[in-house]
Amino acid sequence: MIPAAFDYYRPTDMAGVLALLQQHGDDARVMAGGHSLIPMMKLRMAEVPHLIDLQDVAGLDQISLSAEEITLGAMVTQHTIINHPDLVQAAPILREAALQIADPQVRYMGTIGGNVANGDPGNDMPGLMQCLDAKLTLVGPEGERQVAARDYYEAAYMTDRADDEVLVAITMPVPQGGFAYEKQKRKIGDYATAAAAVQIGKADGKVATASVAMTNLSDVPVWSEAANAALVGTECAPEAVKAAVAAMLGDIDPSEDNRGPVAFKRHVAGVVLTRAINRAWSRA
């Protein structure tokens, strides 16, 4: 409950953030909503001698929408994602997923950027960002670069982001077709036993495009190209859905914990993916 002592900073621009990261190296961490980092600091599992609060950094809470593209500033909260009418219209899957994350209080504070950057396989947004083919914008001492969400996750809490880089924005194409985020969890606020993000485009009664990503079934989110391939070109009948589930099961690697043994997680993964595909297809 009692975190170790630290120095606290609230810079107002990215230059100030980067200067602090450069100065303090591994001893500095940025904080967004604080709802993963502070709990870890309270358990002394994270020690952060220099804590850089991003809340005053101008521009990080912006949302921009065009006909083709959505850009979310890293500090956009889950609460905003749920309640922003234009965003909800453009990408309803974001709202559907955000409503399954945590609880009201946490959603007022927790941000999309923190969720995506955290690197905990339990987080829901990473899989969703892979499903939607989002690009993450990172800013560091050498300037700005973009990395695909599908390439960002390396292992639990290990990502492509360098220690002196900050995730500042997430850009994704406006999703097309039907969507679903299906999550099985023990109770409100729990990380998924298994969850599936699905986006399906339909043309001439057939699956034209499919994107399937799974949450908390490996030490990273899993975007399943094999499951996508099993769906495209079909009429999304039960055999095709079964084939997609079988393909997905080849890509995941869950581990046993309080949410259940591996066999159970694989079973639940199949159930949530079946439901997600069927719901996405019904909306396509």
Q: How far is the CB of 130 from other proteins (least distance, A)?
A: 26
What phi and psi values does residue 95 have, to the nearest 5 degrees?
A: -65, -45
Residue 20 binds to other proteins (criterion: CB under 8 A): no
Residue 111: other Cβ atoms inside 10 A = 30
Residue 102 binds to other proteins (criterion: CB under 8 A): yes
Q: Which stretch binds other proteins (CB under 8 A): 87-95, 101-109, 221-229, 250-258?
A: 101-109
DSSP-assigned letter for residue 257: B
Among 19, 27, 55, 255, binds other proteins (CB under 8 A): 55
Residue 72 binds to other proteins (criterion: CB under 8 A): no
Residue 46 binds to other proteins (criterion: CB under 8 A): no
Among 64, 105, 176, 282, binds other proteins (CB under 8 A): 105
Give how far Cα 3 sits from Cα of 30, 40, 46, 174, Å: 16, 9, 9, 41
186, amino acid identity: R
Beta-strand runs (E) in 39-150: 50-53, 63-65, 69-73, 135-140, 143-148
Residues 175-214 that bind other proteins (CB under 8 A): 188-189
**C-beta of 108 vs 264, nearer to other proteins:** 108
Among 11, 16, 24, 38, binds other proteins (CB under 8 A): 38
DSSP3 helix / strand / coil % (the chain, rounded to 5): 35, 25, 35
Q: Which stretch binds other proteins (CB under 8 A): 30-38, 62-70, 193-201, 260-268?
A: 30-38
Q: Are 137 and 170 in contact (CB under 8 A)?
A: yes
Burial label, 237 (beta-carbon count in 10 A; 0-12, 13-18, 19+): exposed
Residue 35 binds to other proteins (criterion: CB under 8 A): yes
Number of residues that bind other proteins (CB under 8 A): 29
- The residues binding other proteins (CB under 8 A) are 1-8, 10, 31, 34-35, 38-39, 42-43, 51, 53, 55, 79, 102-106, 108-109, 188-189
